[in-house]
Amino acid sequence: MTQDNRILISGAGPVGSITGYYLAKHGVPVSVFDTAPLTPRDHRASTVHPTTLQMLASIGITEKIIPQGIISPIFQFRDRFDDRVVAEFDYGILSDIFDFPFALQVEQHKVINTTHEIAKEYDTFELRRPCEVIGHVQDEDGVTLKVKNQEGEIEDHRGLFLLGTDGGRSVTRKDAGIDFPGFTWPDRFVIATTEYDFGTQKGGKHHYRNYVAHPVQWCALIKVAGDDMAGLWRILLPAMDDDPSGLEIGSSEWVQKKFVECLPYEDEYKIIDINPYNVHQRVAETFHKGRVLLAGDAAHVNNPLGGMGMNGGIHDGVNLAEKLLHIWREDKSANELLAQYDRQRRPTALKYVQAQSIANKELLQETDMQQRRQRLDVLAATAEDRDRCRGYLKKSSLWTMLEEAKNIT
């Protein structure tokens, strides 16, 4: 059994890894457990907002991930009907508040692996994998975590607190009996990747992050660096179960057809890979139950339009790590501070991440032509007006959410 003054973390995704590293760097012993033998490379987060870059700079991660990604100061909303740029937002307008006035397009697995690389220099950081967390029991003094190790043996690990960062299907959340209310969208998302360059004149002169509105052929188009930094484009396509094409959703024929419909710059694209996803909007009923805390996707899930899931999760993790540090070092009242974590992060997750990601999806897929015109006009006017543009960027980069949380005691 491990020592009982550790912080136990279930899940070494971006949120568990960064939170664990933050604590370890400040002298708190942590054990992080993950079922996966290696960091998964599936297509998930690719946009790191300026707020998160600022946060990660203070623990030495930003300087290491910038060279692995693409600096992306501008993002666009476009109308698929006439391929018009409806609105363009430039983070440069916020260079008075952001040290990094751009988003970084960098793959999630690079963020995680970079964090592990830095964290392993601290003997307070322990990563155990493959190790499946199967349950926990909490008592007055701590938590006992049950994990299945690589040999299939059940081990007990003892710690002061358990942080559940084990993703949307979190065993920690379920085992703690915490509800996860919300809904699942009827359409699935399919992500496909190509080397085709949408930044060229022929490819539509796209920026590195683009949202294309259309009642049926809406999509998001994002450029990432790829392993060799040569650049790859990811398209996110919506898929309904009753797709009229009759093709199997997610099959290469279906992706090719949708790809060309949504981005008609070529008759055919060379597709490198395809990943289908179900999309949920859910927020846990609490982020804190005794000695068990939730952060990241274990606490809230949302659609990826706007790139807020991982960013919001990292913001949870840093907020929580600061509080756990006070509790661990100064023996501050745990309940008081951890309840504040829930008050600061849960209502704001509903108000900002959930509301904004739902609004983004509704905007792109609007079918009522009058509503559609109005929504796109409002967006265009927002981009044109300096104050409204600043407000929009502060909100969509989660700066407003962080500022509001600071004032919640």
Ligand X SMILES: Cc1cc2nc3c(=O)[nH]c(=O)nc-3n(C[C@H](O)[C@H](O)[C@H](O)COP(=O)(O)OP(=O)(O)OC[C@H]3O[C@@H](n4cnc5c(N)ncnc54)[C@H](O)[C@@H]3O)c2cc1C
Count of chain residues binding ligand X (CB under 6 A): 35
Q: Please identify, using beta-carbon distances, which residue of 292 and 372 lies nearer to ligand X.
A: 292
In the list 8, 24, 30, 45, the residue contacting ligand X (rule: CB under 6 A) is: 45
Alpha-carbon separation of residue 58 from 52, 62, 63, 85, 359 (angstroms):
10, 8, 10, 36, 32
Q: Write out the binding residues for ligand X, residues 79-118 only, by CB under 6 A.
A: 108
310 binds ligand X per the rule CB under 6 A: yes
Q: Please identify, using beta-carbon distances, which residue of 15 and 213 lies nearer to ligand X.
A: 15
The per-residue b/e assignment along 20-36, b for 16 or more CB within 10 angstroms, e otherwise, is bbbbbbbebbbbbbbbe
**Closest to 359 in 3D by CA, of 375, 382, 380:** 375
Say if CB 325 and CB 59 are below 8 A apart.
Answer: no
Q: Please identify, using beta-carbon distances, which residue of 298 and 379 lies nearer to ligand X.
A: 298
Q: What is the DSSP letter of 62?
A: H
If one counts every other C-beta atom within 10 angstroms of the C-beta of residue 200, the result is: 11
Q: Please identify, using beta-carbon distances, which residue of 348 and 372 lies nearer to ligand X.
A: 348
Rounded to a whole number of angstroms, the minimum distance from the CB of residue 311 to ligand X is 4
Q: How many residues does the chain have?
A: 409
171 binds ligand X per the rule CB under 6 A: yes
35 binds ligand X per the rule CB under 6 A: yes
Rounded to a whole number of angstroms, the minimum distance from the CB of residue 131 to ligand X is 6
132 binds ligand X per the rule CB under 6 A: yes
Q: Please identify, using beta-carbon distances, which residue of 142 and 309 lies nearer to ligand X.
A: 309
34 binds ligand X per the rule CB under 6 A: yes
Mind giving me the DSSP string for 218-281?
-EEEEEE--TTSS-EEEEEEEE-TT-TT-SPTTSHHHHHHHHHHHSTTSS---EEEEEEE--EE
In the list 6, 7, 8, 16, the residue contacting ligand X (rule: CB under 6 A) is: 16
Say if CB 43 and CB 49 are below 8 A apart.
Answer: no
159 binds ligand X per the rule CB under 6 A: no
In the list 165, 256, 354, 400, the residue contacting ligand X (rule: CB under 6 A) is: 165
Rounded to a whole number of angstroms, the minimum distance from the CB of residue 314 to ligand X is 8
250 binds ligand X per the rule CB under 6 A: no
187 binds ligand X per the rule CB under 6 A: no
Binding mask 191-220 for ligand X (x = CB under 6 A): x-----------------------------
22 binds ligand X per the rule CB under 6 A: no
Q: What is the DSSP letter of 72?
A: E
Rounded to a whole number of angstroms, the minimum distance from the CB of residue 301 to ligand X is 7
78 binds ligand X per the rule CB under 6 A: no
In the list 14, 29, 50, 159, the residue contacting ligand X (rule: CB under 6 A) is: 14
50 binds ligand X per the rule CB under 6 A: no
Q: What is the DSSP letter of 300?
A: E
Q: For residues 303 and 44, what is the distance between their CA atoms, to the nearest angstrom?
A: 11
313 binds ligand X per the rule CB under 6 A: yes
In the list 50, 69, 101, 296, the residue contacting ligand X (rule: CB under 6 A) is: 296
Q: Please identify, using beta-carbon distances, which residue of 168 and 380 lies nearer to ligand X.
A: 168
Bridge partners of residue 182, in order along the sequence: 282
If one counts every other C-beta atom within 10 angstroms of the C-beta of residue 407, the result is: 7
Q: Please identify, using beta-carbon distances, which residue of 344 and 357 lies nearer to ligand X.
A: 357
Query: Please, what is the Cα angle at 73 between 71 and 75, to 5 degrees?
Result: 115
Q: Please give the biggest Cα pair distance in the chain.
A: 65
47 binds ligand X per the rule CB under 6 A: yes
Q: Which amino acid is at 380?
A: A
Residue 197 CA neighbour count, 13 Å, CB half: 7
Site residues for ligand X per CB under 6 A: 10-16, 33-36, 43-47, 108, 132-133, 165-167, 171, 191, 277, 296-298, 304, 307-311, 313
